[in-house]
């Protein structure tokens, strides 16, 4: 098995919260958590967004959620996405206010087939695909 190391080294210029996240991934206790999560096919990610003008990294605010739809990522108000569980599948979580909270979702397309009692759930694709 090949292990990819795509670390960019120093996280200079990052906001402190993201610098902390980048440094923490190398800590033994975080590596232990990652090993444990991998038993469930889960991983660790750094909730973030980007400044629209500069592209700089920014911490993901509590009131914003990362949304992937049609293979494109956008950042939308959490309150607009959170209650649409039939449309959006959570794929990233973080711990907020004492609970697991979705921070990233994929928009889904459900296909009903005649005679089936279950619907196929697929990622929403760009128009024309």
Q: Where are the domains of the chain?
A: 10-44, 60-129
**Overall average pLDDT of the 13-34 stretch:** 95
Q: pLDDT tens-digit profile of 73-83?
A: 999 999 999 88
pLDDT > 70? residue 20: yes
94 vs 11: which has the higher pLDDT: 94
| Contacts for 82-87: CB closer than 8 Å, 24+ residues apart | 86/110
State how far the Cα of 72 lies from the Cα of 97, in Å rounded to an integer. Answer: 29
pLDDT at residue number 12: 65
**Overall average pLDDT of the 7-34 stretch:** 86
Residue pointed to by tokens 């449309």: 87
Please give the model's pTM, rounded to 2 decimal places: 0.76
pLDDT at residue number 107: 92
Neighbours of 90 (CB within 10 A): 16
State how far the Cα of 84 lies from the Cα of 106, in Å rounded to an integer. Answer: 11
């Amino acid at each position: 098995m090949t292990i990819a190391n795509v670390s960019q080294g120093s996280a200079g210029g990052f906001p402190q919260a993201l610098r902390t996240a980048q440094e923490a991934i190398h800590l033994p206790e975080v590596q232990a958590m990652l090993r444990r999560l991998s038993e469930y096919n889960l991983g660790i990610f750094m909730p973030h967004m980007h400044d629209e003008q500069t592209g700089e990294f920014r911490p993901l605010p509590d009131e914003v959620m990362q949304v992937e739809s049609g293979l494109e990522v956008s950042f939308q108000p959490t309150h607009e996405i959170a209650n649409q569980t039939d449309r959006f599948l959570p794929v990233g979580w973080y711990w907020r206010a004492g609970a697991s909270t979705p921070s990233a979702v994929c928009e889904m397309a459900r296909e009903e087939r005649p005679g089936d009692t279950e619907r196929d759930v697929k990622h929403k694709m760009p128009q024309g695909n």
